[in-house]
Amino acid sequence: MMMMRLEEAIKQKEFKDPYNKLVVNLLYTHSYLVTAQNSLFKPYDLSPEQYNVLRILRGQNGKPLTVSSIQDRMLNKMSNASRLVEKLKTKELVQRVECPKDRRQVDVSITEKGNQVLSELEKQVSDFNHLIINLSEADVNQLNVLLDKLRG
């Protein structure tokens, strides 16, 4: 898959400065990745955000999490974790249980069906990541360091 330069992709001759270009480039790349991810998850009737919730819950190794704890761990902090959990519950991928200590809190955990869906997706996601990231492993490691540095 050949990726064009940002200027060509958005039909802009030049940028004010390299900082402006980097911000636009990151936003454009985010959109590119999310669009591609959407097509990967579509056959499973999942959004990237729902997939993120399932991954968070699987990482708990069977221990439930509150909706607010899920929200804190989400990649997209603007996601509505309550709505996502409700959609996943309807699909029987998560279960909600009233918290015994605080009835206002709800404990959420992944179901066996949710774990199965993640298992099925695992290789596809790995293959997808390697296919869509047109960089060597050394470049990937360097970019990860740079992105961590960028966020301070």
pLDDT digits (tens, 9 = 90+) for 6-37: 777 777 778 888 898 899 889 989 988 999 99
Residues with Cβ < 8 Å from 124, sequence gap 6 or more? 40
In a domain, 56, yes or no: yes
Whether residue 86 lies inside any domain: the answer is yes
Structural domain span for residue 61: 16-127
Q: Considering the domain boundaries, does residue 27 fall inside one? A: yes
Q: Give pLDDT tens digits for 99-143.
A: 777 777 889 999 999 999 999 999 999 999 999 998 999 999 999
Q: Tell me the C-alpha distance between 1 and 11, whole Å.
A: 20
With b for 16 or more beta-carbon neighbours within 10 A and e for fewer, the 41-71 pattern comes to: beebebbbbbbbbbebbeeeeeebbbbeebb
Q: What is the pLDDT of residues 59-95, one digit of tens each?
A: 999 899 999 999 999 988 788 999 999 999 999 999 9
Instruction: Give residue 117's pLDDT.
Output: 97
Position 3 scores a pLDDT of 61
Q: What is the pLDDT of residue 99?
A: 72
Q: Of residues 6 and 58, which shows the higher confidence score?
A: 58
Q: What is the CATH number of the domain that holds 45?
A: 1.10.10.10
pLDDT at 2: 52
- Return the DSSP state at 14: -
Q: What distance, in Å, lies between the first and last C-alpha atoms of the chain?
A: 32
CB contact at 8 A, 54 and 118:
yes
Give the Cα separation of 78 and 86 in Å (integer): 16
Q: Is residue 88 in some structural domain? A: yes
**Does residue 70 form part of some domain?**
yes
Buried b (16+ CB within 10 A) or exposed e, 98-137: eeeeeeeebbbbbbeebeebbeebeeebeebeeeeeeeee
Which DSSP string corresponds to 55-115? HHHHTTTT--EEHHHHHHH-SSTTS-HHHHHHHHHHTTSEEEEE-SS-TT-EEEEE-HHHH
* Confidence at 97, pLDDT banded by 50, 70, 90: confident
pLDDT (average), residues 49-57: 95
Domain count, the chain: 1
Is 151 contained in some domain? no
- Report if residue 28 sits inside a domain: yes
- Predicted local distance difference test score (pLDDT) of residue 127: 95
pTM of the model: 0.83
> Does 147 fall in a domain?
no
